[in-house]
Amino acid sequence: MKKIIIFFILLVFTGSANGQLNKLVVDVSNSKAKIQPTMYGIFFEDINFAADGGLYAEMIKNRGFEFEEPMMGWLQPNSNRFSLNANSGVAEIIKEQDSSSNRNICRITINNDTGYILLNEGFRGMGIKKNARYQLSLLAAKQSGDIQKINFSFVNNDEKIMGITSIMPDGQGWTTYTTELTATDTEAKARLKITFEGTGVIDLDMISLFSEDTWKGRKNGLRKDLVQLLYDLKPGFLRFPGGCIVEGRTLAKRYQWKKTVGPVDERTVLVNRWNTEFRHRPTPDYFQSFGLGFFEYFQLAEDIGAEPLPILNCGMACQFNTGELVPLEQLDPYVQDALDLIEFANGSVSSPWGKVRSDMGHPKPFNMKYIGIGNEQWGQQYIERYKIFEKALREKYPDIIIVSALGPFPDGELFDYAMDEMKRLNAEIVDEHYYKPPQWFRENSTRYDSYDRNGPKIFAGEYAAQSVAIASPDNKNNWECALSEAAFMTGLERNADLVVMTSYAPLFAHADAWQWTPDLIWFNNLSSYGTANYYVQKMYSTHRGTDLLSISFEDGKAVTGQNGLYSSAVKDSDSGELFIKLVNTSDKLQQVFIELKNKKLADKADVLTLTSDNLSDVNSFDNPDKISPTESQIEVENNHIKTGIDPYTFLILKIGLKQ
């Protein structure tokens, strides 16, 4: 009788709908592998103004006058450097010799208080919202004269005042002043205008402005909407701070984590490696204040429930730039930085670096489990240096898992050499990167099917489909790219016994200050949105599951692009659910009949669908949800599901497991 019912279902199904029939089988009872909690994570690099001007909510550019051009970001519209400025005034930079980090101060001479104006342009402007409150702070020291008041106001390009506040400097010694500025209007390109009442000379430093409405309400914290987008991904890990900025164009300009912790005003400003990397998108005003430093990264990882994965310089500058090398006999300070970082993250408050963490407000260890040595380094030079790091880390911290580099390409001579060496060294996790055309992702869903299971585990650390070409300014976050990534990710998931970490890259891009595209999340000074690629990542990461299941055609073959169809299946033992991912990359409707074996299931399935009939479609500020998930339900009849998958569609079936 049961066979007759199934035959009738198939008859109705095939006779009532167009499209090719795909008969699939899922063995619900047989766990093929455990899926790691770190399977889907995020990678943050300070590119595209992702930190200053982005996630780090500081609104003042060059707040400490420490850029290579100390007045960059600051304007004096009524002053002339080739004049005595009797009708206004002038700002000059005083460089102190007794300070190793924040050496510059801004000395302002006010000759006519009705004529002098100092403006800060922010990061492509300042985004302010009507009735929102902003906290302003600065250091000031009167030198001479009778300056009674300093006024601070938001202004637009027409000089309309959109909020004003003031302080009254009252002494010649350095004093910290704080005040609140409330916006009277909404403006994406506001500037901060500073004027003075009285004449004389005054020194200013660390002029800082933050929205009061930061993530978790932390003073001088992170931009709330951007962190929320990360939190909603439920990422398993946070890789930081790069990327190529870890390496630096030169070793002198490399990222040094110890210079990013402690009091914010003592952190040394550094030029960003992406400052002038691309002629088509030069950003000479791109620097790192390190207000978002290693402590803040660890704190962010904790906030969003992600394992921290810091990446450290291995004694090599970026090989796409100078490729400078530290001699092997001089590598000890770099190795010590790695050892000290583990102490900073995990050490007791009585240890030197554990005390630094505790003094910053986090006595409890961050419980760091992973560390990355190098970013995209390649060749014998990397292997020689990596082995020195590995030996030291194994001896002192044998439980820390080391993530090793395989270079910037997913194949070729450099990749093969690195993989062979890492196998010989018994590396634990190796980091593969691929920025390829959409077709490559569709054609490589089987990439890991034949990988050696006796070698290292795989971290797909940076990947994104490129609609035009790698590093092209014309790349788009279009639906073809996102759909192709969804197809590829079924292959990552089907190989969860081998692939233990994955992350899209880059993560963030400022719409007015980017260097690289495509990117997962776009933002301007007021708003942000997730791309179609973001929703693909979110659908996977929020339906990760705990156990990999087998899904195949009736002949036992995996679903890897036949008829344009891709699939993977997982079970979540915690929630008692089955998740089936299905991707139709073809231009035809695909009918799917799924037999669910060896477990009783609920009689309904929730369906989460991401689709567009135009492969060129993109999300945007004007239409941020153009490509976003929709929810529906279908019937589950006698442990069988029948459904049609529209062209160019990614969907997830969610079915409850009966006890």
d(C-alpha 569, C-alpha 544), whole Å: 10
Q: Which residues, in sequence order, are bridge partners of residue 309?
A: 239
Question: Cα–Cα distance between 234 and 574 in angstroms, integer?
Answer: 16
β partners of residue 155? 161, 191
Dist. CA 412–CA 389, nearest whole Å: 26
Active site residue 376: yes
- Of 375, 283, 324, which Cα lies nearest the Cα of 51? 283
Scanning the structure block, which residue is given the tokens 């797909």?
Answer: 460
Cα–chain center distance at 230: 8
Integer CA distances (angstroms), 97 to 103, 105, 188, in order = 7, 11, 38
Q: How many CA atoms lie within 13 A of 538 on its CB side?
A: 21
Distance CA 359, CA 468 (A): 48
Token pair for 286 = 């791109």
How many Cβ atoms sit within 10 Å of the Cβ of residue 498? 17
Overall residue count recorded for the chain in this entry: 659
CA separation, residue 54 to residues 19, 227, 363, 509, 525 (Å): 46, 10, 28, 8, 8
Q: Any idea which residue has 């889907």 for tokens?
A: 40
Q: Between the CA of residue 617 and those of 319, 465, 483, 535, what are the distances in Å?
A: 36, 15, 11, 14
Pair of tokens at residue 227: 């962190």
Distance in Å from the first CA to the final CA of the chain: 25
Return the DSSP state at 40. B
3-state secondary structure 441-497: HHHCCCCCCCCCCCCCEEEEEEEEECCCCCCCCCCCCCHHHHHHHHHHHHHHHHCCC
Closest CA to 234 of 656, 652, 539, 651: 539
* Residue whose entry in the numeric block shows the structure tokens 């902003």: 134
Of the candidates 156, 139, 161, 150, the one whose C-alpha atom is nearest the C-alpha of residue 194 is 150
Phi, psi of 175 (to 5 degrees): -135, 140
Kindly report the number of other CB atoms within 10 A of residue 587's CB atom.
10
Alpha-carbon distance 255 to 47, whole Å? 13
Instruction: From the candidates 324, 376, 432, 485, give the one annotated as an active-site residue.
Output: 376
Burial of 2 (0-12, 13-18, 19+ CB in 10 A): exposed
Cα–Cα distance between 111 and 201 in angstroms, integer? 9
**Maximum Cα–Cα distance across the chain:** 101
Q: Give the catalytic positions in this structure.
A: 376
